[in-house]
Structure 1
Amino acid sequence: MPAYHSTFLAEDASDTRVVGNFAIFPIKTQFRGPSYPCHSDYDIIDECLDLFRANSFFKNFEIKGPADRALIYGILFISNCLSLLNSRTTEHDATRTLNNLSLDNFSIPGDIGFPLNSLYQSPNGKLESDLLRSYLQQFRQELSARLIERIYRDDKTKPSKYWLAFTRRRFMNKSL
């Protein structure tokens, strides 16, 4: 059974901006950044959250385009977020922890510390590099906020055991 690919692969290429080979999609967000507002109900963040549990079982993933690279980054970031939580973490503590993780200094494709440099191209120049860094920061902030909403949907004092069961899973044997 193959892994699930992004549904945004079929999007018009002229509508999506690509930096390096990472797609910059519009997202529904409350955070400031370079992403323009999404006009549909489903965006790349929702897709990352929906496909995380199914794709986390796969060790191999065939990349079919820039949308799959955004999906891979989102899935690996979710895995990183879940590894910081435990069964006794309240929603308030999780929000603080994941906000700090989202705003922490992180590497982008092309940087020396980026673990997936073999899959991603580096941006062309400082302007594109700054654009990608600010987009990824906005992406990470929105993804962590929506992840917290899903994990603490039923009980605000403890996370869902169905999400925490995936803390030890490593998609593609990689981590951010």
Structure 2
Amino acid sequence: MPAYHSSLNEEPDVRQVGNMSVLPIKTKIRGPAPLGMGVLYLTEPEAADIIDETLDLFRANSLFRNFEIKGPADRLLIVLILFVSDCLAKLGSARTVPAQLEANKTLNTLAVDNFPIPGDANFALNAHYATPGNRADAEYLRQYLTQVRQELAARLIERLYADGTGKPSKWWMAFQKRRFMNRSLGA
């Protein structure tokens, strides 16, 4: 059974940095991400963006050790799935089960912490990613990924604590030790 790929691989007129897509996201967080997806968002305002797609595909894709990259949006999907894994591992490593407010602070800090991007020596998947063309592109990619990570952390918290009990969902936390492609973005 093959892994699930991004439906945004075939989006026209999407900027790429290196060989990774810079896709629009729905967010209130300031950053360089393009807003909306043109006609798609005008006709379907509730259309899923890459963050929704990441959260929907995370649990199914985290069971796979191999993932065939079929386009530039898949490269972004991989980075975001690995970030979700790191988020769950961070919450699972706490001494006590974190409340929603505490988890929100922890994941927001993780999202803005310094992290490697493609081309950096300690980036886990350099063999599959092209280095940004110049320093300006690298800085743009870092800012974009920071914004996307912050939005992803916020939406992950909403899903983890959706039941209102104040504890994270056991159906999500069961994946805290599972590693997509046996990789991690963390040190």
- Name the TM-score, length of structure 2 as normaliser: 0.90
1:69 corresponds to 2:67: no
- Offset of residue 155 of structure 1: 2.3
The residue that corresponds to 1:48 in the other structure is 54
For 2:86, which of 80, 84, 103 is the aligned residue?
Answer: 80
Task: Report the secondary structure of 1:18's partner residue.
Answer: strand
Deviations along 1:52-97, one digit per CA (max 9) or x if unpaired, are 0000000000001101001101100000000011371110110010
What letter matches 2:131 in structure 1? S
5+ long unaligned stretches in structure 1: none
Q: Return structure 1 stretches of 4+ with deviation > 3 angstroms.
A: none
For 1:173, which of 152, 162, 182 is the aligned residue?
Answer: 182
Matched residues in 2 for 1:69 and 1:127: separation?
Answer: 20
What letter matches 1:55 in structure 2? N
- Match runs of 1:29-44 below 5 Å: 29-38=27-36, 39=41, 40-41=45-46, 42-44=48-50
The number of aligned residues is 174
Range with bigger deviation, 67-76 or 32-41: 32-41
- Match runs of 1:1-176 below 5 Å: 1-12=1-12, 15-38=13-36, 39=41, 40-41=45-46, 42-86=48-92, 88-176=97-185
What letter matches 1:6 in structure 2? S
Task: Report the secondary structure of 1:143's partner residue.
Answer: helix
What letter matches 1:172 in structure 2? M
What letter matches 2:4 in structure 1? Y
Deviations along 1:9-50, one digit per CA (max 9) or x if unpaired, are 1211xx200000010000001111111212342100000000
